[in-house]
Amino acid sequence: MADCTGIITQMFIYPVKSCAGIEVSESIIRPTGLSHDREWMIVDQEGQFLTQRQIPHMVWITPRLTDDALYLSAPEQEEIKVPFSRTGKPLRVTVWRDTLLGDDMGDEVSAWLNKFLAVPGKNYRLIRFSPLASRISAREWTGESEAPNMFSDGFALLVVTQRALDVFNERLVENGHEAVDMMRFRPNLVLEGLDAHEEDALSQILLHTAAGPIELTLVKPCGRCPIPNIDPYTATRSPEVMETLEGYRRLSRMNDAVCFGMNAIIRAGEGRAIQVGQPFEANFAV
């Protein structure tokens, strides 16, 4: 018997790392997480990855997916198409501590990015995760599991409870600030039916589908950088978000890092569909 149960109430993917997310009602589980999540990334002329930490208005780059292409739009820019069939030249890129091969998506989208991001002395490329590349989550957290991911910050999925956001917003409002929505925290799965931050204590989430089980293992609390301070709709900074978290979400097991949500890896279920409204069972870590 499971320790607790609930349902998935929201799902998000972020096709281009650190750009706008897409709320979805269904996705396919891949070894690296939800289908197309963080499959593309923007890098500079040195191959270094770019995030909202450096350029907050990256969040205005909005992806759209069809059966055969990624489309990008942004204010005062014409939408641009990046076909899935495009096989760009290999380029060595760096994301955090990992250097690996990515496929350059070409000069046209590069010019589009340069025009919108508009940083003097910088030139940007859109990179797709190469089928020849391999990026493995930190074994200090995954143990014996060799858990792949693409261009995420390090793990296949980020899981957050709805009550965690509710409690956070209660604190914001008490301090005279406006509530924020879940997009501030960029989760993949939002869970209903658990107490606030109960995800911290879970070891396993199990979903039953007609095609077979999907099994997720929760491996590491998600340490937070300043990105939740950036309003995804205005690209302005709201320092009260991290200041509020700092007041109650420092975890001793993470050397007092400010944490919100849990990183997870895929144990089973590759190729199976996961849906909003789907019930789950979960077990606590022993």
Tens-digit pLDDT profile for residues 26-36: 999 999 999 99
For the beta carbon of residue 49, count every other beta carbon within 10 angstroms: 19
DSSP per residue over 37-86, as a string? Answer: TT-EEEE-TTSBB--TTT-GGGGG-EEEE-SSEEEEEETTEEEEEEETT-
**Is this prediction's pTM over 0.85?**
yes
Report d(CA 101, CA 82) in Å as an integer: 19
Q: Take residue 134 and report the two structure tokens written for it.
A: 């391999």
CA triplet 81, 157, 109: central angle to 5 degrees? Answer: 15
Q: Give whole-number Cα distances, 217 to 96, 131, 143, 185, 258, in Å.
A: 23, 25, 11, 20, 21
Tokens 């509020």 belong to 244
Strand duo 189-192 + 157-161: pairing = parallel
Q: Is 150 helix (H, G, I), strand (E, B) or coil?
A: coil
Query: Domain-by-domain residue ranges, the chain?
Result: 4-284
CA triplet 227, 280, 151: central angle to 5 degrees? Answer: 35
Residues 65, 153, 18, 123: is their CA dihedral positive or negative? negative
For the beta carbon of residue 79, count every other beta carbon within 10 angstroms: 11
Q: Give whole-number Cα distances, 241 to 125, 130, 163, 263, in Å.
A: 31, 35, 16, 20
Going by C-alpha positions, the residue among 245, 242, 189 that lies closest to residue 216 is 189
Chain-centre distance for alpha carbon 143: 22
Q: What per-residue confidence (pLDDT) applies to 188?
A: 98
Going by C-alpha positions, the residue among 56, 64, 35, 48 that lies closest to residue 157 is 35
Q: 4-284: what fold?
A: M1 Pyruvate Kinase; Domain 3 (2.40.33)
Q: What per-residue confidence (pLDDT) applies to 1?
A: 85
3-state percent helix, strand, coil for the chain, nearest multiple of 5? 20, 40, 40
Q: Is 172 helix (H, G, I), strand (E, B) or coil?
A: helix
Tokens 């998600």 belong to 222
Residues of the chain with pLDDT under 50: none
